[in-house]
A and B are shown apart, each in its own frame.
Chain A
Amino acid sequence: MRGYVGKFLEIDLSNGNIKEKKFPDKVLRDYIGGRGLATKILWDRLGRKWETVDPLGPENILLVLTGPMTGYFPGTKVCVSGKSPQSNGVIGSTVAGEFGVDLKCAGYDGLIIVGKAEKPCYIFICDSQVEIKDASPIWGKKARITIRFLVKKSIEEIKDVRQNYGEVKEPSILYIGPAGENKTRVAAVVAKYAHGAGYGGYGGVMGAKNLKAIVAKGFGPLPDVYDKEKMVNLAQEFCARAFEMERFRRWGTGGGGYYFGAETSSEPIRNWQKEWHDKESYKGEEFDKHWVKKYWGDFGCPTTCLKLAVLKTGRYKGAICDNPDYELEAYLGTNLGIFTPEENINLSYVSNELGLCGIQGGAALGFAAELYERGILTKEDLDGIELEWGNAEAFTALAEKIAFRHGIGDILAEGVYRAALKLGEMKGVDLLKYAVHEKGVAIGAHGVRSGKDFIAENIAYACSVQGGDHTSSASLPLDQGGELSSILADSAIYCVFAAFGLEDMEISNFYKAVTGWKLTEKEWYKEKALRILHLQRAMLLLGGPDVKWKPKLDDDNPPRFWEPLPSGPYKGKTLDRKMFEASRLEYFNAAGWNESGVPKPETLRRLGLGDVEAKLREVGLIR
């Protein structure tokens, strides 16, 4: 086994038990790591009772998994997973940073965290030293204070153990803010400032486990690879290509706030009522004025698409944020009617300090603002907040309420879908038409109505097993790129921004150089990736105690995506119902699902998933 350490840690927060766990080669060859392995672990352990498991209960399992390519492929990420409080399925949510490298260097491929701690705690890992520590000094604290505390304390403790070592570097940290502690469904698991594993809502899962943070420091090397020379050469080749993409390196996605509005009409504006704007104030150059680091990356990254924004003057002096990247420019900017970089940077900063996912939290803010615009939510409902479009102060105040579940924030903290159900019931009106989500997951800032975004398929979100996750969108043909390719990126784990233009073959060559295992396109697209997709699909359909998705009926775009675009060069454009249904059916067929979107017994058997078939029969999905 190469590229892996070969060892995982299982940590039971209920009783403090910590043990090592291994997986057979066959499991790692089939499910690889990250999202794939998460899916397998969750199915094996919770599958039989999946529909009864509350994602925010102690039964849920929090997974933090590396992949074999973590640390070797230029650009490092780690995958956070579990049963999602948003979709009730499994979402592989990746976050960049050094955490995966530190974890592997400490001697572990991943963490399986079960149970619930009695009191706020954090997990401290330094090589063979693994401890569950008291988090009471940082519980309730925001991002900056949390990072500062953990860095300082951890270094002191490492120095105690490694005397005479010399200066000790900081450990890597994954943490949650108040939004996670208060078990909101819109909370991210965060690294650095706004590096977030946002999709899925695993910040809330950590909070439900009373787990404030995970700290990892590894002193060992990354595990040996199968063919070092080849791995190093390929990495250098991939880097050389990335170095040539000067435009993307220079701007990252930070030019998107203007581009996706003005050029492709696919940017959420005012809760997706519009997708077009041409506000010059929102051009990359305007954000650039606040970028104190214009090339910022994580371990091994050649692309450094991130930038570090700091506001040094004005009313928001002291705000720090990554970029903001395009998603935050949209969801904490245009979608709230905000078109000034300073307000957007500050709101991104506020959102991260609170541990909110910029997309999920931002979607809840936009949803509330539309209800306010329509008179459905009143100033009284909002405890005096006047939630006008563009009112950055009001959105800041409401973000705090969501993170702390105060007042109306308690409902909005459930995410747009569940909030629409609750508020709709309270107000006696259907509010689902204003909830822009796919299976409980607010949709990434890439609309499909204009057909001009790089995500342009009418089934992109409707058929994805990760719902609104724009990094895992469905497309046809099924066996080329699309969601099956995303599964590889999230399982072997590489950053797609460091892999632009790479062919599947090149990725699989790299995977082979690391692991020594061959992975053909056919094996992946016809078997392994499909198996992971099916497990995700099955668990998504099984649902949870509060929500179950109906196959086909819920495999649809949100109502707003069926409205014509009201403005811009693509005014009047919308999705065509017939074409959508044809694409959806084609996708179902290609995946081996019946016309209602339920995996066929023969498909499941072919993939060796007989137990999934049995479970789907038990709940009546397969008759």
Chain B
Amino acid sequence: MSRDDLVWIKRNYVNCSGCRRCEIACSLYHEGKIWPEASRVRVFMFVPGVEIPHLCFQCEDYPCVEACPVEALSVKSQTGAVNVDVSKCNACGLCIMACPGNVPHLHPEGNYIVICDLCDGKPKCVKTCKKGKWNALTLIPREKEVSYNALAKTPQELTQEVAKQILGEETAKEVFG
């Protein structure tokens, strides 16, 4: 895979059924277990019915990589995904603060950060979402003109947006604030 055919995981939050089969697929692949908290994609549901599959937005300027004081994070040239060197990571959390979407999180039992690695270009979450015909997560070519950085948002911000969209403004305010 050359830099020209890099992929990006597109999200359509309204399509998310909340089945969390992405969490199952991701954790089975990366951890060998069903482990929702260790999954690199986590479905947030602050409001029932407003499900937000949250995973690395693959910013073009990689603020997380920049912020890492111990060079535990790097960019995989093949996929453009962020690579975590768990032997270097000291779980300081600076990458979380640097991320405009607060995406990275600590491994629930290990002392290191976990970030989506795109499963080396064939993300399991996308595969399972496609099989279920939900297409909340789809794989698209990464485009040079798009600012992925600007798409990166926190689960709270996304919940607010999506809640407004599907529940209406007033109701969204009432159930989420």
Contact = CB atoms under 8 A, between A and B. Distances in A.
Nearest to A74: B21
Contacts of B108: 219-220
Interface stretch (B1-9, B38-46, B77-85, B144-152): B38-46
Given A72-B34, A221-B38, A243-B133, A310 B166 contact: yes
Interface in A53-102: 71-72, 74, 98, 101
Interface string A155-169: 000000010111101
Interface string A203-227: 0000000000000001111101000
A614 to B, nearest CB: 44
Interface stretch (A294-302, A366-374, A556-564, A590-598): A294-302
A297 B19 contact: yes
A580 B79 CA distance: 68
B174 interface: yes
A221 B19 contact: no
Interface in A265-317: 292-293, 295-302, 304, 308, 310, 312, 317
Contacts of A151: 46
Contacts of A413: none
A75 to B, nearest CB: 9
A239 B132 contact: yes
Interface size grouping (class) on chain A:
35 or more
B14 A239 contact: no
Contact of A167 (B20, B24, B44, B174): B44
Nearest to A217: B37
A26 B28 CA distance: 30
A89 B108 CA distance: 42
B67 interface: no
Contacts of B19: 297-302, 304
Contacts of A74: 21
A49 B61 CA distance: 70
A111 interface: no
Nearest to A172: B45
A193 interface: yes
Contacts of A71: 34
Given A222-B35, A293-B14, A296-B18, A164 B166 contact: no
Given A164-B91, A299-B20, A243 B36 contact: no
Nearest to A165: B106
Contacts of A304: 17-19, 132, 134
Contacts of A308: 49, 166
Contacts of B44: 167, 169-170
Interface residues of B, number: 54
Given A221-B38, A243-B131, A301 B17 contact: yes
B106 A224 contact: no
B138 interface: no
Contact of A98 (B17, B20, B106, B109): B20
Contacts of B86: none
A174 interface: no
B46 A170 contact: yes
B14 to A, nearest CB: 7
Nearest to A312: B168
B33 A310 contact: no
Contacts of B15: 295
Contact of B45 (A72, A101, A105, A170): A170
A169 B109 CA distance: 16
B170 A193 contact: no
Residue with the highest number of chain A CB atoms closer than 10 Å, among B24, B92, B174: B24
Contacts of B123: none
B75 interface: no
A167 B35 contact: no
A232 B27 CA distance: 12
A318 B170 contact: yes
A505 interface: no
A144 B47 CA distance: 9
A224 B33 contact: yes
A292 B165 CA distance: 9
Contacts of A218: 37
B34 A166 contact: no
A192 interface: yes
B140 interface: no
Interface of A: 71-72, 74, 98, 101, 105, 144, 147-148, 151, 162, 164-167, 169-170, 192-193, 218-222, 224, 228, 232, 239-240, 243, 292-293, 295-302, 304, 308, 310, 312, 317-318, 320
Interface of B: 14-15, 17-21, 24, 27-28, 31-38, 42-49, 54, 91-93, 96, 102-106, 108-109, 113, 131-134, 154-155, 166-168, 170-171, 174-177
Given A219-B108, A243-B131, 8 more contacts: A166-B113, A169-B37, A220-B37, A221-B34, A239-B21, A295-B17, A300-B24, A310-B168
16 contacts: A101-B36, A105-B37, A164-B96, A165-B106, A166-B102, A167-B102, A169-B37, A169-B44, A220-B37, A221-B34, A240-B131, A298-B19, A301-B19, A304-B17, A304-B134, A318-B168
